[in-house]
Amino acid sequence: MAIPDFQQIMLPLLRVIISGSVFSISDVVEQLSKEFKLSEEEQREGLPSGTQLKFENRVGWARTYMKKAGLLISPERGKIQITDRGQSVLNEKLDKLTSNYLGRFPEFKEFRKAAPPQVITKDNLVVNGSTPEEMLEESFTELISNLENDLLEKIKSASPKFFEQLVIDLLLKMGYGGSRKDAGERLGRSGDSGIDGIIKEDKLGLDVIYIQAKRWESTVGRPIVQEFVGSLAGKRAKRGILITTSQFSKEAEEYAISIETKVVLIDGETLAKLMIENNVGVSITARYELKKIDTDYFSED
């Protein structure tokens, strides 16, 4: 089944700890994974940032909501235990437990005053089952995706000369070439048997990387990659970067992986991502820091 949202997890979580014993969060997550019959793939699915597993994150928010409502407590780090109020809620034999239901408890009302508004369905479930972190990361991912598309359009509309400089700027930001002065030959100048330019692999220039960068519109197939590899062989080169503003065919990618010569293929989408990661052609408009309690700081052991 699909990964349940954090509200769907709340009631099953209470049932897991119904005995009143102290349970570790990891054990609870494992038991709930079995109860919801999650596949291994679903258990390994992470948040967009990759910082946490999605199901664990949702279990964590189910715990937070019920803790704020007084249904459970955390007697020690990484542990949870049901309260008398939690036992009373279970005795009501509810079909489901939602944040709307928790609103009857004063402590939870206070908590919700400071919480961001959420879009609720008619069944009182958060749309798409997203936790606050997921909503934040999904919004961030959407913004980045839109930026990538806009950036790629800008690249395609730029002049060939500007595109040449853009590639050099990116490679320099990524640590190649040492400095702009000795970065290497400008792209587009050599026109030497399929080689558009050369850049030093490191600041000392112990090795060089041969580059071909073109603003292709159509899909780049295997023959173009083979031609580039042939050009590298003519230079006795072992490394090359092939950059396009479009995309590579599956056959081209498979060929690049199968050969001994190390050829890195960078398509338009990857080019835009690398520019964003290395702050080439983009600027920071705002910066937000997401913080959490440092449990080690409060440890008195």
Please give the pLDDT value at position 138: 72
Helix axes 6-16, 54-68, angle to 10 degrees: 70
Q: Is 195 helix (H, G, I), strand (E, B) or coil?
A: strand
Domain extents for the chain?
Answer: 6-130, 149-277
Indicate if the pLDDT at residue 124 is higher than 70.
no
**Helix residue ranges, H only, 93-219:** 99-102, 106-113, 132-157, 160-173
| More reliable by pLDDT, 214 or 35 | 35
Q: What are 140-158's pLDDT values in tens digits?
A: 877 788 788 889 888 988 8
pLDDT at residue number 189: 52
Average pLDDT over residues 46-67: 87
- Domain 6-130 sits in CATH 3.40.50.10140: no
Average pLDDT over residues 277-298: 81
What's the whole-number mean pLDDT along residues 42-49?
A: 84
Residues 233-256 have pLDDT tens digits of: 888 888 899 999 999 999 999 999
φ, ψ (nearest 5 deg) of residue 270: -65, -40
Q: Average model confidence (pLDDT) for the chain?
A: 83
Tell the residue number behind the tokens 């690249």, with chain if given: 155
Q: How confident is the model at residue 30 (pLDDT cuts 50, 70, 90)?
A: very high
53: pLDDT strictly greater than 80: yes
pTM for this prediction: 0.61
Considering the domain 149-277 in this protein, what is its CATH number?
Answer: 3.40.1350.10
Q: Is 233 helix (H, G, I), strand (E, B) or coil?
A: helix
| CA gyration radius, the chain | 27
CA–CA dist 108, 101 (Å, integer) = 10
